[in-house]
């Protein structure tokens, strides 16, 4: 039996349309799946959609359809994209599948019987926009940021999961099995979260049901409750697992959802797998570790400049724009340029530069030159090297090292490093050609053996590249494979069968261009056209209903006129450390400069604020937040659920102008 390899992506919310972030994670999972198939493993690749929750319920109501109709309409946005891209997904799970619902209900019942889930009354504050209970510390933070209106007092019955009971085992998991979260610096973040006395204090039990929502999986036997999102969503990995593949080998997640996967998820599983006699305050049995995911692989975010991509900023990169250059090109770029775990700025400029340098030049050019030399000087027949000088021996040694180095990095999930190493080798071969000067060797019969060596080594290097990079660029590598006169599907081969120095079975074919050089200016115009075409539908696939409080009571003019509103110009802006929402700004009010704090970090990056005109409430009494005094407030527009949009006076309004 070959070794199982179970890889998962997060299941995506259906109220968003696919973007570069979803594409990146799913492509990375596909590359891992293909790579491990070529390692001879028994791969199972799972992705899907997360379809329950209040937002879906509300949207369906405004459209006059059922939530089920709505999710059936939008889930294919994801499923079809992966099909169109040729991803080798084995199963597409939806949380509305009967099989998934049955698993969630069965596990819920089981944990209730074991005492890991209990019913209690929650009394406290609830954030309407986050659809979550908030602790006192969080509530204070929100109040300081002027978000008090999003908090409501709540008293409701809820089922809780005893997360706190698993703190000891979780800490042992992180200490003893550091491979559980990769890369390492992301594990440190998780430890911080759980550590007693750490940043967030000890773990608190987790509310896992709601009575205020109906669109969810009913709690068995107590149907006014539905199971709350994370207990529902995380269990997809269990409900859709294929026999013989448990536990997951690599679970890919973005850094924003790492905590759910590295803390809640293993705790749920520990509760399910713990047996009579296991001591939660003692040592975690090794048996439990064996049943938990091997690695949660946390990646960073694709950013626009140093700003988050967001619908409100309209700077989201959509799959169609990426795929304009070909699926394989997009796959190569995403894997080659993202250093796993870190954030990375996306620009079309860098995207096109990478493709031109590495695919049009780089590999494409090397393949075209090498194959046409084989045809010209040896009628396509690949010679056997018999004579090696120092230069050739150096290349031979590198040729023998390339695959082990590539495979080692890939085993560590470092495709950025693996591809970087492979392409460094290809550049070295360009130098080899320049130094060996095959065109001169071809003119001298005495040098025939030397020419044989050069041509054979180039061929071997290309054959090796086609094989190693096939999981990343399956089609492009197949094309190269065929140009090298090789038959069959390169992706059907196994890395273990690789014999770098095996003779070529057949003569090489015609050198087909692998990747046409991109004319950047023309391509940018094409991208703009794709965007313009998509613009009317750039709004979320699911239109969220307006979520506003009722109008306030009337006031007289004099009361209104007491407010002194001014046009301000942002001179400087920086994030307030440790605050999730605050940005500190220096604002020019024409007559003076002020320090003002704004709760807008989630919607704006500091760099994008500098130079903007804003409307300032200028006669508001100063107020300290996070130890900094704010002398005024910026006007924003939003509803209770959306991010704040800054009110922008026209460009020619001077700082200090009175708004009236």
Nearer to ligand MSP, 37 or 100 (CB): 100
Q: How far is the CB of 33 from ligand MSP (least distance, A)?
A: 17
The residue among 200 and 311 lying less far from ligand MSP, judged by its C-beta, is 311
Q: What is the DSSP letter of 315?
A: -
Nearer to ligand MSP, 125 or 190 (CB): 190
Q: Which is nearer to ligand MSP, 74 or 618 (CB)?
A: 74
Burial class (CB in 10 A: 0-12, 13-18, 19+), 405: middle
What is the total residue count of the chain? 660
Q: Give whichever of 22 and 584 is closer to ligand MSP, judged by the CB atom.
A: 22
**CB 257, min distance to ligand MSP, A:** 5
At its nearest, how many Å lie between ligand MSP and the CB of residue 256? Answer: 5
Q: How far is the CB of 233 from ligand MSP (least distance, A)?
A: 4
CB 569 to ligand MSP: min, Å: 30
**Cis check: omega of the bond before 247, within 30 degrees of 0:** yes
Task: Give me the residue label for tokens 């013989």.
Answer: 244
Q: How far is the CB of 217 from ligand MSP (least distance, A)?
A: 14
Cβ closest to ligand MSP, residue 78 vs residue 126: 78
CA 380, 386, 388, 394: dihedral to nearest 10 degrees?
A: 70
Decide: 583 and 608 in contact? Cβ < 8 Å: no
Strands (E), 311-467: 344-346
Q: Distance between CA atoms of 332 and 229, rounded to whole angstroms?
A: 34
Minimal distance, residue 414 CB to ligand MSP, in Å: 17
Residues that bind ligand MSP (CB under 6 A): 10-13, 16, 21-22, 24-25, 50, 233-234, 253-254, 256-257, 301-302, 309
Instruction: Identify the CA nearest to 15 among candidates 524, 585, 540.
Output: 540
Task: Please calculate the CA angle 76-81-86 and round it to the nearest 5 degrees.
Answer: 130
Which residue has the closest beta carbon to ligand MSP?
A: 254
- 312: tokens are 């409100």
Task: Provide the 8-state DSSP code for 95.
Answer: T
Closer residue to ligand MSP, CB minimum distance, 139 or 250? 250
CB of 632 to ligand MSP, least distance (A): 33
User: Minimum distance from CB of 487 to ligand MSP (Å)?
Assistant: 39
Q: How far is the CB of 319 from ligand MSP (least distance, A)?
A: 12
- Residue 335 or residue 429: which is nearer to ligand MSP going by CB? 335
Closest CA to 463 of 504, 430, 431: 504
**Nearer Cβ to ligand MSP, position 142 or 234?**
234
**Burial of 627 per CB tally in 10 Å (0-12, 13-18, 19+):** exposed
Taking the least distance from each CB to ligand MSP, the nearer of 310 and 375 is: 310
Closest CA to 473 of 326, 360, 616: 326
CA 142 to chain centre: 27
Phi, psi of 396 (to 5 degrees): -60, -45
User: Residue 593 burial (CB < 10 Å; 0-12/13-18/19+)?
Assistant: middle
Q: Which one, 247 or 254, has the nearer CB to ligand MSP? A: 254
What DSSP line would sit under 479-538, residue for residue? HHHHHTT--S-GGGS-GGG--TTPPPSS-------SSPPP-HHHHHHHHHHHHHHHGGG-
Residue in the block written with tokens 């300032």:
616
């Amino acid at each position: 039996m070959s070794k199982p390899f179970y890889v998962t992506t997060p299941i995506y919310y259906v109220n968003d349309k696919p973007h570069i972030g979803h594409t990146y994670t799913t492509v990375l999972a596909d590359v891992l799946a293909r790579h491990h198939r070529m390692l001879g493993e028994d791969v199972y690749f799972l992705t899907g959609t997360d379809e329950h929750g209040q937002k879906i319920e509300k949207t369906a109501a405004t459209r006059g359809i059922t939530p089920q109709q709505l999710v059936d309409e939008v889930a294919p946005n994801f499923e079809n994209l992966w099909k169109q891209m040729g991803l080798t997904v084995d199963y597409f799970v939806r949380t509305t599948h009967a099989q998934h619902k049955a698993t969630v209900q069965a596990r819920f019942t089981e944990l209730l019987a074991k005492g890991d889930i209990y019913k209690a009354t929650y009394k406290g504050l609830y954030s309407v926009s986050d659809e979550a209970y908030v602790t006192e510390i969080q509530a204070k933070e929100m109040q300081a940021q002027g978000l008090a209106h999003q908090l409501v007092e709540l008293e409701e019955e809820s089922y809780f999961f005893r997360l706190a009971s698993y703190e000891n085992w979780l800490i042992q998991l992180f200490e003893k099995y550091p491979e559980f979260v990769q890369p390492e610096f992301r594990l440190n973040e998780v430890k911080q979260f759980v550590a007693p006395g750490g940043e967030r204090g000890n773990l608190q039990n987790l509310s896992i049901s709601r009575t205020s929502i109906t669109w969810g999986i009913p709690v068995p036997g107590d149907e006014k409750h539905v199971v709350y999102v994370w207990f529902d969503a995380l269990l997809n990995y269990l409900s859709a697992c294929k026999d013989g593949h448990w536990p997951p080998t690599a679970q890919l997640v973005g850094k924003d959802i790492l905590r759910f996967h590295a803390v809640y998820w293993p705790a749920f599983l520990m509760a399910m797998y713990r047996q009579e006699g296991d001591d939660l305050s003692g040592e975690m049995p090794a048996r439990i570790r064996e049943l938990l995911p091997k690695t949660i692989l946390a990646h960073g975010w694709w950013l626009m400049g140093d700003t988050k991509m967001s619908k409100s900023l309209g700077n989201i990169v959509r799959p169609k724009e990426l795929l304009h250059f070909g699926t394989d090109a997009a796959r190569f770029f995403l894997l080659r340029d993202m250093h796993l775990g870190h954030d990375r700025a996306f620009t079309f400029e860098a995207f096109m530069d990478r493709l031109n340098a590495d695919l049009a030049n780089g590999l494409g050019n090397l393949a075209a030159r090498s194959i046409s030399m084989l045809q010209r000087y040896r009628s396509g027949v690949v010679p056997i090297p018999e004579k090696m000088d120092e230069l050739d021996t150096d290349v031979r040694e590198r040729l023998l090292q390339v695959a082990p180095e590539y495979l080692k990095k890939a085993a560590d999930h470092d495709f950025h490093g693996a591809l970087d190493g492979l392409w460094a080798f290809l550049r070295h071969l360009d130098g080899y050609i320049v130094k060996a000067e095959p065109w001169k060797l071809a003119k001298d019969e005495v040098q025939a053996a030397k020419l044989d060596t050069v041509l054979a080594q180039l061929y071997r290097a290309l054959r090796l590249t086609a094989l190693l990079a096939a999981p990343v660029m399956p089609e492009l590598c197949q094309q190269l494979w065929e140009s090298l006169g090789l038959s069959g599907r390169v992706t059907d081969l196994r890395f273990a069968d690789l014999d770098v120095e095996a003779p070529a079975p057949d003569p090489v074919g015609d050198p087909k261009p692998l990747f046409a050089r991109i004319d950047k200016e023309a391509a940018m115009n094409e991208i703009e056209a794709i965007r313009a075409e998509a613009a009317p539908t750039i709004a979320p696939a699911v239109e969220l209903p307006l979520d506003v409080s009722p109008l306030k009571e009337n006031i007289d003019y004099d009361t209104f006129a007491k407010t002194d509103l001014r046009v301000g110009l942002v001179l400087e802006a920086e994030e307030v450390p440790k605050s999730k929402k605050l940005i500190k700004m220096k604002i020019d009010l024409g007559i003076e400069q002020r320090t003002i704090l704004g709760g807008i970090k989630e919607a704006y990056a500091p760099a994008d604020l500098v130079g903007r005109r804003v409307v300032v409430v200028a006669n508001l009494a100063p107020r300290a937040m996070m130890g900094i005094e704010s002398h005024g407030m910026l006007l924003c527009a939003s509803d209770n659920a959306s991010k704040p949009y800054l009110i922008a006076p026209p460009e020619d309004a001077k700082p200090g102008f009175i708004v009236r």
